[in-house]
Structure 1
Amino acid sequence: MTASRRSILAALPAGAAPFLLPRRAAAQPSWMPARPVRLVVPFTPGGTTDLLGRLAARGMEPSLGTSVVVDNRGGAGGVIGSDLVAKAVPDGYTILLSNIASQAIGPAVSKHVPYDPVRDFTPIGLIAAVPSAIVVATDGPIRSLPELVARARTGNVKFGSTGIGTSSHVKLELLNRAAGVAILHAPYRGSAPAVADVLGGQIDGLIAAVPDVGRNDRLRMLAVTTPERAARWPNVPSVREFGFETLVATNWFGLSGPAGMPDAAADALHDALAKGLSAPDAQERLLDFGAGPHSLSRRDYEALIASDVARWARVAKEAGIEAE
């Protein structure tokens, strides 16, 4: 198992290990699409999910011999687009940009998700596992994670999030529990207004996906939530270096189809994805997102999803998090 593969699967419980398989040897696929494939991205254009979906689509097209058309179906935290795919014909022509928000955290914090995130989908493969970062204003008084924890123990500290029940929110709860503090939560509608208030001094910081905050020189990244440091930000420590093992978590993005998709179709799509992402330009682009190279089989990706569904359900229940 490669180091990057170990990193991605680091959060899996020991009981998941027997289900992990090595990558299949490359072989001529027994299924090839006869018409364009639709990739439903359950968020609006321009964000991390959309950009990764377009990267995957472009990389898959040469192997599939047809177009992979991105169809943005945003709404309800990714639920609308995900439900569309869950109910689609499982023939390989409609697939989903599956992700931690709509497949794990959303079902954990909401009673109204109309699909089962494990039972109603066929995992195809991982695109990227992107770290979050704990960030504060560069010109503010907090310069390290230990300083943040010390300040939170002696006075009020307020962090924003991208909304109640989002990945940003639940990771703040994990930080509070790991450090034994009570950082106050201020929900926003997305990362942009939260970042604006960090820079304006209305709140002390936030936890957000690295692509949303990592290139902003006015923000200081105190730590990333992956087990190891991100290649593009080698000077930013991992939360593991501070002993916050329970805060290790990634924002994963991959491809899934409806339940009941034939293995031949899922295997062909997986192989096209793996080949497209192995191209040097794709690897460079993934590094810009904070994601290193990986090699997850379909079963590895299935195990990752199942593990995170269980993990975030437990966190949401223990912290009393429920989406509005």
Structure 2
Amino acid sequence: MFPSRRTLLAGAALSLPALRRAAAQAGWMPSRPVRLVVPFTPGGTTDLLGRLAARGMEPSLGVSVVIDNRGGAGGAIGSELVAKSAPDGHTIVLSNIASQAIGPAVSKHIPYDPVRDFTPIGLIAAVPSAIVVAADGPIRTLPDLVARARTGTIKFGSTGIGTSSHVKLELLNRAAGVQILHAPYRGSAPAVTDILSGQIDGLIAAVPDVGRNDRLRMLAVTTPERAVRWPDVPSVREFGFETLVATNWFGLSGPAGMPDAAADTLHDALAKGLSTPEAKERLLDFGAGPNSLSRQDYAALIAADVARWARVAREAGIQAD
């Protein structure tokens, strides 16, 4: 006897929850290559960290982790693609402060909710920003910069309106009680060129973008402690600028509704891949130390930063639209 149409429909309605329960009970492994969408172009910090994570995860997963660069709109294009993908564990995104927290804070046109539309998997790295000026210029320390900003005109570049670089400049202004002027650029490279030519005074940018340029002086890093690779550069916390402590975080997320078993497997593969001596050394090159965040910790980090940067953007009047 064949099942009735009503029976088939009822079975279909129950199939997804049942599959998720079965996956949670039996564990989960990918059945085909995992697609890791990096929502920025190749070669930058986001891309390099994505490739580091992908290589580290492959031995545990037993399949390839394929990088798919989908740059554009500050990371929103690639992030939206993953938000709309099937939550089966085979399509994930390199979630990050730009596309998950700052972008939604400064734009009304982000096509996803950074919390509700994703399943946090795990943190790859928390990378510091650095406050930099010309190495041969008159500004030698962060107190020097603040003193000059209080008595004269100081102009800092950023990597663009509404970027992490921009909002951190606003944090510096508020923390120090100054008004450093803002000059937006298309990325850190042209801003560095103008620092060296004397057109602007400085920049706040991710350490991997500026830390190895001998013609720049790092006045401070924005992490709570000094970076291992740059032990002579103080933390902003050492100057009492607690509200300026902020990292550029990068991790992995999947679409909302991903089964816990799939997210747990991906998290464990990421954690194991980043625990090797080679991976730890590479992370130090980015200014990042080891991390032991659980999936829940990473979710809390994202939620807290979404709220934080929304507040900063609102109070500073920053809008990228």
Cα distance in 2 for partners of 1:208, 1:29 equals 45
Q: Does 1:218 align with 2:229?
A: no
Cα offset, 1:32, TM superposition: 0.7
Cα offset, 1:30, TM superposition: 1.1
User: Which segments of 5 or more consecutive residues in structure 1 lack a partner in the other structure?
Assistant: 1-27
Q: Does 1:163 align with 2:160?
A: yes
Cα offset, 1:34, TM superposition: 1.1
Counterpart amino acid of residue 219 in structure 2: L
Q: Does 1:193 align with 2:190?
A: yes
- Secondary structure at the aligned position of 1:49 is classed as helix
Match of 1:174 in 2: 171
Cα distance in 2 for partners of 1:58, 1:90 equals 22
Match of 2:200 in 1: 203
- Please, which of 134, 138, 143 is the counterpart of residue 141 of structure 1? 138
Cα distance in 1 for partners of 2:73, 2:31 equals 32
Q: Does 1:275 align with 2:272?
A: yes
Match of 2:251 in 1: 254
Cα distance in 1 for partners of 2:210, 2:232 equals 15
Match of 1:305 in 2: 302
Match of 2:103 in 1: 106
Counterpart amino acid of residue 154 in structure 2: V
User: Which segments of 5 or more consecutive residues in structure 2 lack a partner in the other structure?
Assistant: 1-24
Counterpart amino acid of residue 172 in structure 1: L
Counterpart amino acid of residue 243 in structure 2: T
Whether the 8 Å contact between 1:29 and 1:267 is mirrored in structure 2 is no
- TM-score, reference length from structure 1: 0.91
Match of 1:3 in 2: none
**Runs of 4+ in structure 1 displaced over 6 angstroms?**
none
Whether the 8 Å contact between 1:29 and 1:268 is mirrored in structure 2 is no
Cα distance in 2 for partners of 1:186, 1:196 equals 13
Counterpart amino acid of residue 130 in structure 1: V
Cα distance in 2 for partners of 1:94, 1:34 equals 12
Q: Does 1:43 align with 2:40?
A: yes
- Secondary structure at the aligned position of 1:70 is classed as strand
Moved more, 28-37 or 264-273: 28-37
Cα distance in 2 for partners of 1:203, 1:209 equals 18
- Please, which of 62, 65, 86 is the counterpart of residue 65 of structure 1? 62
Q: Does 1:286 align with 2:289?
A: no
1:26-60 per-residue CA deviation (whole Å, 9 max, x = no partner) reads xx981111110000000000000000000000000
1:66-86 per-residue CA deviation (whole Å, 9 max, x = no partner) reads 000000000000000000000
Cα offset, 1:101, TM superposition: 0.1
Bigger-Rg structure (1/2): 2
1:222-268 per-residue CA deviation (whole Å, 9 max, x = no partner) reads 00000000000000000000000000000000000000000000000
Cα distance in 2 for partners of 1:89, 1:180 equals 48
- Secondary structure at the aligned position of 1:140 is classed as coil
- Secondary structure at the aligned position of 1:45 is classed as coil
- TM-score, reference length from structure 2: 0.92
Match of 1:15 in 2: none
1:144-201 per-residue CA deviation (whole Å, 9 max, x = no partner) reads 0000000000000000000000000000000000000000000000011011101111
- Secondary structure at the aligned position of 1:52 is classed as helix
Cα distance in 2 for partners of 1:32, 1:117 equals 26
- Secondary structure at the aligned position of 2:126 is classed as strand
Cα distance in 1 for partners of 2:197, 2:96 equals 31
Match of 1:183 in 2: 180
- Please, which of 250, 254, 265 is the counterpart of residue 262 of structure 2? 265
Cα distance in 2 for partners of 1:101, 1:165 equals 9
Match of 1:120 in 2: 117
Over the aligned positions, Cα root-mean-square deviation in angstroms equals 0.9
- Please, which of 3, 15, 28 is the counterpart of residue 31 of structure 1? 28
Match of 1:88 in 2: 85
1:64-122 per-residue CA deviation (whole Å, 9 max, x = no partner) reads 00000000000000000000000000000000000000000000000000100000000
Counterpart amino acid of residue 82 in structure 1: S
Counterpart amino acid of residue 256 in structure 1: S
Cα distance in 1 for partners of 2:318, 2:72 equals 20
Give the total of aligned pairs.
297
